[in-house]
Amino acid sequence: MSIMNLKGKVASYLQRLIDEGSPIHFSLIDPDKVTDLEILQNVATKLYRSGSSAFLVGGTLGVSKERLDGILEILNDYPIPKIIFPSNVNLISEKADAILFMSLLNSDDLYYVIGAQVAASFIVKSMKLEPIPTGYLIVGHGGTAAHIGRARVIPYDNAELASAYALAAEFMGMDYLYLEAGSGAPETVRPEMIRTISRVSRINLIVGGGIRSPERAVEIVRAGAKAIVTGNVIENDTERALKIIEAIQNLRVGY
């Protein structure tokens, strides 16, 4: 059996995109920000048609399991994965395909490093949700996630420190490292940090927080990110989000 087959369906799909040289785009849907399910359907259709690779569903504040389930039901109409982006153990649903099984590597609180994961493990298994082993590293602005997660944020310009975390995550067997500047961050993770990490570690980088222009998204992918996440820009200006998706697709190797 090949290594590919040992991975779950969603991990294999993401790995295939990476192997093809196709930049991954995650559309982050925050259940607390969805006011109207019809609007969500409209937006999700546009995101899917533009080539977004998967839906990430999660939020830090004001998210309930009921809301999460309602959103996942709507997203079930689209043939791309629905992946939970959990802020805590209450946001786990059998209606999703997979969960970013994250450890907040730079938290001072053991709960976010290993406690929540222990509390969640049997739930994830019984729901047959596919766990995607992911390190979560909060950088710079950090936003609400840094505050709630008690992160000792990595300064935007300390690429060496971020690289040490990336290598540690790789050595611990994590497939992905999510570099998070925080929802709505005024500045994204810097391309220089992404470039430095990519030189040091083979871990797949997911980059999110404050990405709101196609130009910045392109710089982030060119620097070595395998995936980008956009949340606020979808909520605030969907057409701009579609331009971001289009711009990174044009970077596809051999395109």
Ligand X SMILES: O=P(O)(O)OC[C@@H](O)CO
Q: Are 149 and 107 in contact (CB under 8 A)?
A: yes
Interaction of residue 87 with ligand X, rule CB under 6 A: no
Closest C-alpha among 178, 11, 13, 132 to residue 79: 13
Binders of ligand GRG: how many residues, by CB under 6 A?
28
149 carries a ligand binding annotation? no
Interaction of residue 142 with ligand GRG, rule CB under 6 A: no
Residues 6+ apart with CB under 8 A from 228: 23, 24, 25, 26, 206, 207, 208, 211, 217, 220, 221, 244, 248
Instruction: Report 80-99 residues binding ligand GRG (CB under 6 A).
Output: 85-89, 92
Interaction of residue 148 with ligand GRG, rule CB under 6 A: yes
143 carries a ligand binding annotation? no
Closest C-alpha among 120, 124, 71, 129 to residue 98: 129
Interaction of residue 229 with ligand X, rule CB under 6 A: yes
Instruction: Report 18-37 residues binding Mg ion (CB under 5 A).
Output: 30
Beta carbon of residue 183, minimum distance to ligand X (angstroms, whole number): 4
Closest C-alpha among 38, 180, 200, 19 to residue 102: 180
Backbone phi, psi, residue 133, to 5°:
-65, 115
Structure tokens at 192: 């220089």
- Binding segment toward ligand GRG, per CB under 6 A, in 12-20, 44-52, 70-78, 111-119: 111-119
Could you say which of 183, 198, 201, 204 contacts ligand X (CB under 6 A)? 183
- Alpha carbon distance 34, 11 (integer Å): 27
Three-state secondary structure call for residue 212: coil
Site string for Mg ion, 164-193 (x = CB under 5 A): -------------------x----------
Beta carbon of residue 94, minimum distance to ligand GRG (angstroms, whole number): 14
**Could you tell which of ligand X, Mg ion, ligand GRG, none binds residue 218, using a CB distance below 5 to 8 A set by kind?**
none
Using the CB atoms, write b or e for 91-107: b if 16+ within 10 Å: bbbebbbbbbbbbbbbb
Q: Which residue ranges make up the annotated binding site for sn-glycerol 1-phosphate?
A: 178-184, 209-210, 231-232
Task: Give the footprint of ligand GRG on this chain (CB under 6 A).
Answer: 30, 32, 58-61, 85-89, 92, 101-104, 112, 116-117, 120, 136, 143-145, 148-149, 183, 231
